[in-house]
Structure 1
Amino acid sequence: MSESNKKLKRKPSNSKLPQRFSMVRSFQLADFVTLGNGVCGCLSLMFAMKALLTQNTDFLFSSFWCIPAGVFFDFLDGRVARWRKSSSLLGQELDSLADFCSFGLAPAVLGFACGFQKMFDLVILTYFVCCGLARLARYNATVAAMPTDQNGKVKYFEGTPIPTTLVIVGILAYGVYYGKFWRFANPMFKHEGPFASFSEAFTPENVWGGEITIFPGYELHPMVFMYALSGTLMISRRLRIPKP
């Protein structure tokens, strides 16, 4: 009998299947807190889309509030991990993925929802998202080699931490609240139903900072450069931020 035929007649191994919900069983308390951060990011994305569909600022403000809630969970999960003295590679990767959802994707989608929708705006928003992704990947790849204190805690961040994008979200929320974006939903007006079409809501005078023409037919909103600045600071290796 040939060797190939012998391989075909081998009996299956007796290895047992993993227990049901084995991944969930392996989660530490800190991992569930981290998932809370991811939930906030997902809700922010969905509320932003709901706001665009309904032209209702209530959903937009719900989307804004999800981001500081995500910051709270991101702050808490590290404290819980140190309190429980439980950390794992799974928790580290989970934390980065949740951060990317809440502080990378969600702020970019909120910028789009507020009117940064021109082609050059989309390029800058994409750059911002890619910077956040690269920053988190670099942190995971280098955290083991970074200097730590006597408690094993990393001393500093290389580049600004991705939760600092909360500043951008705060600026957008301020703009919507004071009528610098989304003027069709200004509370001063009492009309029933949608206050105006999207074509009116996102005209240059209804988007904070207006717009400039780069080439004929290709415009850009100057306010979107805050995303470019934030993304560039995140990937900087020369900028070192002490870790609290």
Structure 2
Amino acid sequence: MNEQEKQPHNGDDDLVEETRMLSLGEDEVEEETVEAGKKVRRRGIYLLPNLFTTGALFSGFFAIVSAMNGAFDSAAIAIFISMILDGLDGRVARLTNTQSDFGAEYDSLADMVSFGVAPALVAFSWMLSDIGKIGWIAAFVYVAGAALRLARFNTQIGSVDKRWFIGLPSPAAAAVVAGIVWTFSDLDLNDTAYTYALAFIVASIGVLMVSNVRYNSFKEIDLKGRVPFLTMFVIAIFFVVIAYDPATVLLLLFMGYAGSGPGRALLRRVKKADQ
């Protein structure tokens, strides 16, 4: 037998690979990527970052269930917990070098539940259901805005300036809605005017998510660098203020962030008009 007969052809290589994967079980292949021009198939998923993502997803689902049961404080707090866990999963993946396409897709789907569906349903269960069609339309505008925002973000990765977000980030949008619910859920707001105001805010937040307004991503901040000594004291005072009245402080903080994008855009237009 000559050497040529011993070596399989390229087509045979593919057949051998497919046979090997079949023997392993195709259902075990969770991810397929191309690295250095070669197809790479991976079995299983990274545990640690996906645990945080699952926690964020659970918190979002818990917010929906809590709102259905009338526990609006718990629903709002669960959305903020989702934000914390969502902020940790990506950082943990980078620190442990466990990034994956599967993790990115899973994170995006979890974000849709926690920051898209959950805030809209919480607001609808709380007050928006009282005004019928206008209420659920406002809630849907928010959900659609979150879905489009997440889809656009996924397609813009690596092609936009990392210092800026295009459109209001969905976690910040969810924080505004959750902050309103958390702050005012204990008050007796029976006036229809409040409900229409909430519908306007929820729909406006949805529009901001799909707008071309730029928001600071704060990714240029170097957390490993040295800072003035007083900076840590200011941070400590900030946490004390949040602990004193977390609902109000977080609402004002994220409403300020939501308004920073349109405010910056307006200032740029004014400066251009003056030139």
Could you say whether these structures have the same fold, taking a TM-score greater than 0.5 normalized by the shorter chain as the test? yes
Offset, 1:19: 8.1
Tell whether the 8 Å contact from 2:45 to 2:102 is kept in structure 1 after alignment: no
Counterpart amino acid of 2:108? Answer: S
Counterpart amino acid of 2:159? Answer: A
Equivalent residue for 1:130, pick from 144, 152, 160:
144
**Count of aligned residue pairs for this structure pair:** 186
Residue of structure 2 in register with 1:44 after alignment: 63
| Structure possessing the higher relative contact order (Cα contacts under 8 Å, 6 or more residues apart) | 1
How do residues 16-55 of structure 1 correspond to structure 2 at under 5 angstroms? 16-18=23-25, 23=30, 25-51=44-70
CA 210–76 in structure 1, closer or farther in 2 if over 3 Å, else same: closer
Offset, 1:179: 2.8
Query: Per the alignment, in what secondary structure is the counterpart of residue 157 of structure 1?
Result: strand
Query: Per the alignment, in what secondary structure is the counterpart of residue 145 of structure 1?
Result: coil
CA deviations on 1:188-243 (whole Å, 9 max, x unpaired) are xxxxxxxxxxxxxxxxxx156346xxxxxxxxx23211111111111112324234
Residue of structure 1 in register with 2:236 after alignment: none
Q: Structure 1 vs Structure 2: percent identity of aligned residues?
A: 28
How do residues 102-141 of structure 1 correspond to structure 2 at under 5 angstroms? 102-117=114-129, 118-141=132-155
Counterpart amino acid of 1:156? Answer: W
Query: Per the alignment, in what secondary structure is the counterpart of residue 177 of structure 1?
Result: coil
- CA RMSD in angstroms comes to 2.3
CA deviations on 1:48-103 (whole Å, 9 max, x unpaired) are 1122xxxxxxx322212111110110111122112112211111111111111111
Structure having the larger proportion of residues in helix: 2
CA deviations on 1:80-139 (whole Å, 9 max, x unpaired) are 112112211111111111111111111111111112121111111101100000000011
- For residues 97 and 208 of structure 1, the distance between their equivalents in structure 2, rounded to whole angstroms, comes to 34
- For residues 171 and 159 of structure 2, the distance between their equivalents in structure 1, rounded to whole angstroms, comes to 22
Query: Per the alignment, in what secondary structure is the counterpart of residue 216 of structure 2?
Result: strand
Structure 1 residue 101 and structure 2 residue 113: aligned?
yes
Tell whether the 8 Å contact from 2:54 to 2:110 is kept in structure 1 after alignment: yes
Structure 1, unmatched stretches of 5+, are 1-12, 52-58, 148-153, 181-205, 212-220
